[in-house]
């Protein structure tokens, strides 16, 4: 981005939004298939630089799994108990991997009821459970095929009466090819890894040996990346700290989740959290150069685990912070501000532009302003994978989408500290319906094409190149001209 533009959108006269600007066309000296839309968040490489927001009507385990499978990242919300957060993180980490290590494998005692196994399968989204005895040695496997037909047998029957005792297994250290051969010859879908003494060391599944998602976002061990929203408030109780440490085992990146992070108490609390936990941290939200400068240069964060900043305040389609308080930092403006601070003080930090996106064409604008990744709730709230049921209003399929500052979200008891603490009457978000748009794969395909095509027109081969393209302010008349106009209406 040119210095001239940066000064313009940083000035007191203009606080620009996505609708206020256009990217100027550039010279394209590469083929369309050479466009690289991948980006980095700290040490993590994402083939799709798109995240779903940490909102309770947007991202729970199903969304997080699908976002990661398609190369992005879904950030699990925090509007629930630590116990529920732990459950979601476990499910995400267990979802896809060549080898599921022993601590992530679902196990059950042979004397347990069939009903318990059925419950575990439904809640963990798995099709089978390894059966281990009191000595933790494998004695069988129980799958959905083993569930009896009669309800009374499900409620009263023991696992040992229905499980498969002749377990086909593989030894630790076996190759992918060996595992694939055994699974094919046995016509099984799950292959427990059992050592010479009979102890469970992991699990290999058929679907993970032949992955249909080659660009998935994975950690070093092959598990899907897991991001989780976190309050900046440090939990004082030992029980809460213990739960957080357990959650920490499954999380790759914690996202501090408050409307305005540029507050002394939030900074102090986060510093303590970073010393308690071992995963990486993204901090936010902020909206100005000064806030980024302070966080980078004057805060006592654990440097090697402070990997990114999340920016934007008041831009979301269900956010009313700017209306209710008169304070805000639209995402495009905030991105340009914080991008300059990162460039000046710590170029290793990643920048996430959060919220305010309406159309696919807004994504290239965010990257042109300096973002490394974008985050949205609006794009994903109406998908099949978002939490909640599909309803029908006036013959149209819809889903509920609510701001985390809405009355409905704030009265749940878990996110009272996301906005101004103690504010009971003033809501900073709304709750309403959004159109049902099908599965998240289709939405991501549209966003991906919009981003890639925008990069081609701008002459940028990579996300890094996008940061060098030119942006210009568009007049009100110019904005109208870029919309479909002067058409004969439908009769």
Question: Is residue 468 helix, strand or coil?
Answer: coil
Sequence-ordered list of residues with C-beta below 8 angstroms from that of 486, at least 6 positions apart, any chain: none
Burial of 187 (0-12, 13-18, 19+ CB in 10 A): exposed
Could you please report the per-residue DSSP string of 194-217? E-TTSBEEEEEEHHHHS-S-TT--
The candidate with the shortest Cα–Cα distance to 354, out of 305, 404, 423, 422, is 404
Instruction: Quote the tokens at residue 172.
Output: 């630790």
Candidate list 78, 96, 410, 418, residue with the active-site label: 418
Whole-number Å distance between alpha carbons of 191 and 99: 10
Residue 480: how many CB atoms within 10 A of its CB?
10
| 305 included as an active-site residue | no
| 461 included as an active-site residue | no
CA 15 to chain centre: 28
Question: Is residue 476 helix, strand or coil?
Answer: helix
Candidate list 319, 410, 461, 480, residue with the active-site label: 319
Output the CA–CA distances (angstroms, integers) from residue 2 to 5, 338, 363, 452, 469, in the order listed.
5, 15, 18, 22, 8
Instruction: Quote the tokens at residue 451.
Output: 């981003």
Tallying the residues shown for the chain, one arrives at 491
Instruction: Quote the tokens at residue 419.
Output: 């906005």
Active-site positions?
319, 418
């Amino acid at each position: 981005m040119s210095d001239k533009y940066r000064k313009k959108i940083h000035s007191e006269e203009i606080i620009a939004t996505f609708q206020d600007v256009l990217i100027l066309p550039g010279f394209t000296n590469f083929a369309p298939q050479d466009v690289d839309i991948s980006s980095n968040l700290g040490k993590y490489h994402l083939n799709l630089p798109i995240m779903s927001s940490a909102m309770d009507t947007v991202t729970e385990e199903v969304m997080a799994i699908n976002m990661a499978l398609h190369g992005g990242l879904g950030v699990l919300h925090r509007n629930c108990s630590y116990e529920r957060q732990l459950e979601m993180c476990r499910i995400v980490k267990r979802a896809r991997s060549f080898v599921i290590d022993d601590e992530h494998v679902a196990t059950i005692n042979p004397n347990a009821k069939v009903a318990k196994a059925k419950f575990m399968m439904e809640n963990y989204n798995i099709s089978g459970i390894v059966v281990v005895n009191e000595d933790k040695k494998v004695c069988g496997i129980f799958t959905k095929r083993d569930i009896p037909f009669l309800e009374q047998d499900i409620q009263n029957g023991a696992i040992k009466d229905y499980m498969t005792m002749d377990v086909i297994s593989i030894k630790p250290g076996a190759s992918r090819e060996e595992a694939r051969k055994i699974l094919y010859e046995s016509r099984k879908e799950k292959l427990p890894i059992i050592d010479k003494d009979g102890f469970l060391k992991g699990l290999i599944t058929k679907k993970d040996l032949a992955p249909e998602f080659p660009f998935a976002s994975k950690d070093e061990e092959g598990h899907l990346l897991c991001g989780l929203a976190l309050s900046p408030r440090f939990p004082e109780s030992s029980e809460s700290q213990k739960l957080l440490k357990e959650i920490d085992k499954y999380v790759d990146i914690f996202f501090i989740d408050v409307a305005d992070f540029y507050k002394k108490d939030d900074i102090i609390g986060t510093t303590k959290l970073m010393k308690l936990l071992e995963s990486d941290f993204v901090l936010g939200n902020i909206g100005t150069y000064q806030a980024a400068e302070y966080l980078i240069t004057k805060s006592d964060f654990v440097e090697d685990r402070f990997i990114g900043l999340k920016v934007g305040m008041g831009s979301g389609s269900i956010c009313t912070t700017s209306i209710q308080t008169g304070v805000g930092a639209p995402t495009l403006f905030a991105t340009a501000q914080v991008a300059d601070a990162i460039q000046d003080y710590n170029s290793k930090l990643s920048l996430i532009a959060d919220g305010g996106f309406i159309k696919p064409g807004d994504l290239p604008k965010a990257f042109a302003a300096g973002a490394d990744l974008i985050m949205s709730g609006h794009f994903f709230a109406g998908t099949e994978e978002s939490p909640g049921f599909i309803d029908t209003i006036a013959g149209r399929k819809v889903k509920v989408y609510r701001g985390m500052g809405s009355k409905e979200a704030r009265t749940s008891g878990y996110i009272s500290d996301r906005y101004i603490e103690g504010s009971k009457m003033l809501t900073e978000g709304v709750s309403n319906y959004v159109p049902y748009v099908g599965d998240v794969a289709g939405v991501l395909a549209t966003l991906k094409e919009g981003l890639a095509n925008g990069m081609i027109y701008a002459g940028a081969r990579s996300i890094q190149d996008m940061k060098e393209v030119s942006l210009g302010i568009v007049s009100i008349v110019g904005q109208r001209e870029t919309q479909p106009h002067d058409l004969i209406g439908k009769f």
